[in-house]
């Protein structure tokens, strides 16, 4: 028995510790299924297998409203998985037949974009930072760099402040806290560019009348890792003292209902591992300190995520209670969603509290800003799509997604102002 345990530990150690010069993780014939859950037992079974990190990877946590959960399955596990679905009477829909094919397609680069930053492909951290430097150089009178702090691996977490005049209310955007959600930093950089270059009157007024504090890539270590080693990486990169699994979910590591109500996991191998304690991840700790310092300059806080097409608001920790200004939060959410749906793409966004329209999530950055800093207007945007491509949103959809962001943001800010928050 002891020998068996030792062997199991060894296997776990060698498979989880991806060495520096190890090749990129491949996802040949990995499939993604959307499952419909009918009872607690079915959910428990799926959540349990979801923690077997080499065989499964939960792409989208269980959504109580739709009763759906998206899960990636490795080819070697497929037969077992199908038996398990049958045995537990769980219905499924195949969303992605071969994840590696999607990843390969994502990498196909139009030649026109190789010289300039153009939002027709996804860029690596180095390229995003070089672009940020160019922008800071090109617009020195209205832009300014800010530094949130250092990541576990020692990278600098950078942001850009865009301010056209003194005394503007501030809007803070945090993006790519989850490494594999590449559309978020693509959207953040596009948005920065619009604020600086657009000649549209509405966008100009957004740029002129608010101070924008934007972090295009917050989880820098994870993002780099998602490009260089594992496209499906979500968490931070800090190793765990007693477990071979690496990283925590930075969006479960904030000190607001931390690890409560099943809104996060205490298992270091889970995709929603909360960390050993609030602020155990240097990135989350740095953001808390930075936001605490500049809190007086911020009126609205927005966190960019993918996927699922939602505009989420507090609370994340319970659906039994709602914030006292929930009506306003919904009115603003409706303005956001309606304006996006009115575009020719017809994309539908759902809006409402995280715990009500999605699932219970605790220790998130936005809930911390809402509950601890007392900011009344905070949202999480979950971008395209509904699971057809999931995290691997094709580059041709970057600009359409960004167009939706802009009309949504214009409507959101306008309504927020109309209701007296700005």
Residues serving a catalytic function are 382
Q: Which is nearer to Zn ion, 317 or 415 (CB)?
A: 317
Task: Determine the Cα–Cα distance for residues 138 and 244; give it in Å rounded to an integer.
Answer: 45
Q: Which is nearer to ligand 0X9, 191 or 307 (CB)?
A: 307
Task: Determine the Cα–Cα distance for residues 24 and 7; give it in Å rounded to an integer.
Answer: 25
Is residue 363 involved in binding ligand 0X9 (CB under 6 A)? Answer: no
Is residue 366 involved in binding ligand 0X9 (CB under 6 A)? Answer: yes
Q: Which is nearer to ligand 0X9, 163 or 265 (CB)?
A: 265
Q: Helix (H, G, I), strand (E, B), or coil: what is residue 160?
A: strand
> Residues of 181-206 as b/e, b for ≥16 C-beta within 10 angstroms?
bbbbbbbbbbbbebbbeeeeeebeeb
Only one of the segments 117-125, 320-328, 343-351, 359-367 lies at the binding site for ligand 0X9 (rule: CB under 6 A); that segment is 359-367
Is residue 312 involved in binding ligand 0X9 (CB under 6 A)? Answer: yes
Only one of the segments 7-15, 38-46, 98-106, 358-366 lies at the binding site for ligand 0X9 (rule: CB under 6 A); that segment is 358-366
**Which residues from 87-106 bind ligand 0X9, rule CB under 6 A?**
none
- Residue 404's binding partner, choosing from Zn ion, ligand 0X9, none, with beta-carbon cut-off 5 to 8 A by kind? none
**Which residues from 227-286 bind ligand 0X9, rule CB under 6 A?**
251
CB 347 to ligand 0X9: min, Å: 17
Q: Which is nearer to ligand 0X9, 117 or 258 (CB)?
A: 258
Q: Which residues pair with 149 in a beta bridge?
A: 157
- Residue 283's binding partner, choosing from ligand 0X9, Zn ion, none, with beta-carbon cut-off 5 to 8 A by kind? none
Task: Determine the Cα–Cα distance for residues 253 and 191; give it in Å rounded to an integer.
Answer: 27
Token representation of residue 144: 């300014």
Q: Is the dihedral of CA 53, 58, 64, 68 positive or negative?
A: negative
- Residue 57's binding partner, choosing from Zn ion, ligand 0X9, none, with beta-carbon cut-off 5 to 8 A by kind? none
Task: Determine the Cα–Cα distance for residues 273 and 282; give it in Å rounded to an integer.
Answer: 15
Token representation of residue 91: 């219905």
Q: Which candidate, 359, 358, 339, places its Cα nearest to that of 347?
A: 339
243 with 269: CB under 8 angstroms? yes
Token representation of residue 125: 């951290």
Q: Which is nearer to Zn ion, 178 or 237 (CB)?
A: 178
Among 31, 305, 319, 375, binds ligand 0X9 (CB under 6 A): 305
CB 316 to ligand 0X9: min, Å: 3
379 with 412: CB under 8 angstroms? yes
Is residue 354 involved in binding ligand 0X9 (CB under 6 A)? Answer: yes
CB 421 to ligand 0X9: min, Å: 18
Q: Which is nearer to Zn ion, 163 or 303 (CB)?
A: 303
The dihedral formed by the CA atoms of 26, 31, 34 and 35, expressed in degrees to the nearest 10: -110
- Residue 366's binding partner, choosing from Zn ion, ligand 0X9, none, with beta-carbon cut-off 5 to 8 A by kind? ligand 0X9
Is residue 364 involved in binding ligand 0X9 (CB under 6 A)? Answer: yes
Token representation of residue 204: 């100009």
Q: Which candidate, 322, 301, 321, 304, places its Cα nearest to that of 370?
A: 301
Report, in angstroms and rounded to the nearest whole number, the Rg of the chain calculated over CA atoms: 21
- Residue 163's binding partner, choosing from Zn ion, ligand 0X9, none, with beta-carbon cut-off 5 to 8 A by kind? none
CB nearest ligand 0X9: which residue? 316
CB 130 to ligand 0X9: min, Å: 27
Task: Determine the Cα–Cα distance for residues 273 and 287; give it in Å rounded to an integer.
Answer: 18
Q: Which is nearer to ligand 0X9, 382 or 404 (CB)?
A: 382
Mask: binding to ligand 0X9, 367-386, rule CB under 6 A, as x and -?
x------------x-x----
Task: Determine the Cα–Cα distance for residues 219 and 238; give it in Å rounded to an integer.
Answer: 11
Is residue 316 involved in binding ligand 0X9 (CB under 6 A)? Answer: yes
214 with 162: CB under 8 angstroms? yes
Task: Determine the Cα–Cα distance for residues 355 and 277; give it in Å rounded to an integer.
Answer: 22
How many residues at the interface with ligand 0X9, by CB under 6 A?
15
Q: Which residues pair with 351 in a beta bridge?
A: 311
Q: Which is nearer to ligand 0X9, 246 or 312 (CB)?
A: 312
Angle CA 331–336–338, to nearest 5 = 90
CB 392 to ligand 0X9: min, Å: 14
Token representation of residue 212: 């924008």
Is residue 60 involved in binding ligand 0X9 (CB under 6 A)? Answer: yes
Q: Name the residues that contact ligand 0X9, by CB under 6 A.
A: 60-61, 178, 181, 251, 305, 312, 316, 354, 361, 364, 366-367, 380, 382
């Amino acid at each position: 028995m002891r020998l068996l345990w030792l062997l199991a530990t060894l296997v776990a150690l060698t498979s989880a510790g991806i060495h520096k010069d190890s090749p990129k993780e491949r996802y040949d014939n990995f499939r993604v299924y959307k499952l419909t859950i009918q009872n607690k037992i079915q959910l428990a079974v799926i959540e349990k297998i979801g923690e077997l990190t080499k065989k499964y990877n939960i792409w989208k946590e269980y959504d109580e409203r739709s009763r759906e959960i998206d899960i990636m399955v490795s080819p070697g596990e497929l037969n077992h998985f199908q038996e398990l679905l049958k045995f537990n009477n769980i219905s499924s829909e195949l969303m992605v037949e071969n994840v590696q094919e999607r990843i390969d397609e994502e990498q196909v680069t139009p030649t026109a974009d190789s010289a300039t930053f153009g939002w027709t492909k996804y860029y690596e951290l180095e390229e995003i930072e070089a672009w940020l430097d160019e922008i800071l150089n090109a617009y020195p009178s209205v832009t300014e760099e800010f530094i949130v702090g250092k990541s576990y691996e020692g990278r600098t977490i950078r942001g850009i402040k865009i301010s056209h005049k003194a005394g503007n209310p501030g809007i803070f955007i945090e993006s790519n806290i989850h490494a594999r959600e590449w559309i978020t930093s693509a959207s953040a950089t596009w948005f920065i560019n619009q604020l600086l270059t657009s000649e549209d009157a509405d966008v100009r007024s957004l740029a002129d009348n608010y101070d924008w504090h934007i972090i295009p890539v917050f989880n820098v270590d994870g993002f780099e890792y998602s490009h260089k080693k594992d496209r499906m990486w979500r968490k931070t990169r800090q190793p765990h003292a007693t477990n071979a699994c690496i990283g925590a979910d930075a969006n479960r590591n904030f000190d607001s209902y931390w690890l409560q109500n099943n809104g996060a996991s205490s298992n270091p191998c889970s995709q929603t591992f909360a960390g050993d304690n609030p602020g155990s991840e240097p990135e989350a700790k740095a953001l808390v300190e930075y936001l605490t310092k500049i809190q007086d300059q911020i009126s609205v806080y927005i966190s960019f995520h993918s996927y699922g097409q939602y505009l989420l608001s507090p609370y994340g920790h319970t659906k039994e209670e709602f914030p006292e200004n929930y009506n306003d939060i919904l009115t603003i959410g409706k303005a956001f969603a309606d304006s996006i749906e009115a575009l020719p793409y017809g994309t539908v966004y759902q809006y409402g509290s995280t715990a009500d329209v999605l699932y219970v999530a605790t220790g998130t950055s936005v809930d911390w800003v809402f509950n601890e800093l007392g900011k009344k207007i905070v949202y999480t945007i979950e971008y395209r799509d509904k699971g057809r491509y999931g995290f691997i949103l094709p580059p041709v959809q970057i600009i359409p997604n960004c167009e939706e962001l802009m009309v949504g943001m214009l409507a959101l800010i306008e309504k927020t102002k109309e209701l007296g928050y700005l």
